Structure 1
Amino acid sequence: MRIGELSRRTGVAVYLLRYYEEQGLLHPQRRPSGYREYVEEDVAVVRRIRSLLAAGLNTSTITTVLPCLRDAGDRLVPTCSDLLADLHRERDRIAQIITDLQTSMNALDDVIAAAPADVTRRAPASLGA
């Protein structure tokens, strides 16, 4: 199948599929014309990639762990013995990010709570722009 068909079947934009190839996550064959040719298994690979991205892993990490995962119904199952250590490290990294964000949110809550009653509680339009 060509890239447009893979995009349609997975719901992933063509430019992202090209990016996944650049990152070494997809390995389509090339026709003599230069067109990419994908196989049925690539649909499942793209779904695995999307699941791992949604779990907070970056494409560099996914390149490492992807060959060590298989589909088991609606979940991914590790198949390499050393993969669990890598996944635990990633989970710890994400947990630290969550802790840091919670600390930041708490600091903002403290600032907001300290605002005098006559100060509007609505964020100015320029904030975050």
Structure 2
Amino acid sequence: MVAKVNLAEAFAKIPEAWNPHVAGDINNFQIKLVKLEGKFDWHHHDIEDELFLVVAGRMKMGLRSGDVIVEPGEFIIVPRGVEHCPEALDGECHVVLLEPGSTLNTGNVETEKTRRTLARLDAR
């Protein structure tokens, strides 16, 4: 089935921050939507690169080499192995993630924010 996704409507279905939801699949990759509030945990991914596309709000991507501010309509790709710490600035931030379906949101660390099973927003 071919269907379009309205991002505003999809984000409205996500009840809480730091709880990514799957919005669709592309081969072995998933499009995940997540609301950010405050600061996440420092972590890295051994084998996966991650793309963070900011749709609403502002995000600071903490990197050991220096922080990067990502505005709405901008994205950042964090290569595998790079320690990072996303943080919402100025309240809630809506982010589209593009990453392999196997990617664990907290990477190499286990915290209360770890989500092993993600809810789906699509009818699949």
Normalised to the residue count of structure 2, the TM-score between the two structures is: 0.21
Structure with larger Rg: 1
* Bigger strand fraction: 2
Larger RCO, structure (CA 8 Å, separation 6 or more)? 2
Normalised to the residue count of structure 1, the TM-score between the two structures is: 0.20
